[in-house]
Amino acid sequence: MSKKNNAKSIRLSDKVMNYILSYRGNGFNEKFENIILDAMESEKERERQIEFYENQIETIKEKYFLMADKLRHLEPMVQAALHVNSRINQLNKEFDECITNISAGPGKLQEK
């Protein structure tokens, strides 16, 4: 530890005081200084991690918007396919009715 040239008086909540007292070191001053020094030493790593995660978020956003755009282009095709499917089902029903009418023979034609 370096020479201590600064003397300050501070007021702390019980929560902060308990945190400081639970930190490594001997006595309040050393514990408090260790907290600050550890925070200073880890600051660059935290900033690097934040930048990494911000870049990850941007990449994910770009992929999301690209996929959403592709989905917007696919939606009309899906709607058209659903319409075709509906029409096929309707034609199948009509075909089955025709077969039933033909099987019933003449004079026994069923009405729709």
34-71 pLDDT per residue, tens: 999 999 999 999 999 999 999 999 999 999 999 999 99
pLDDT in tens, 72-93: 999 999 999 999 999 999 999 9
Q: In the prediction, which pLDDT does 111 show?
A: 56
**Does residue 111 form part of some domain?**
no
pTM of the model: 0.52
**Does residue 6 form part of some domain?**
no
**Does residue 39 form part of some domain?**
yes
Domain that holds residue 52: 14-104
**Does residue 91 form part of some domain?**
yes
**Does residue 85 form part of some domain?**
yes
**Does residue 1 form part of some domain?**
no
pLDDT in tens, 12-40: 999 999 999 999 999 999 999 999 999 99
What single letter denotes the amino acid at residue 60?
Answer: I
Number of domains within the chain: 1
**Does residue 78 form part of some domain?**
yes
Q: In the prediction, which pLDDT does 109 show?
A: 54
CA distances in angstroms from 79 to 9, 42, 65, 82, 84, listed in the order given: 72, 54, 21, 5, 9
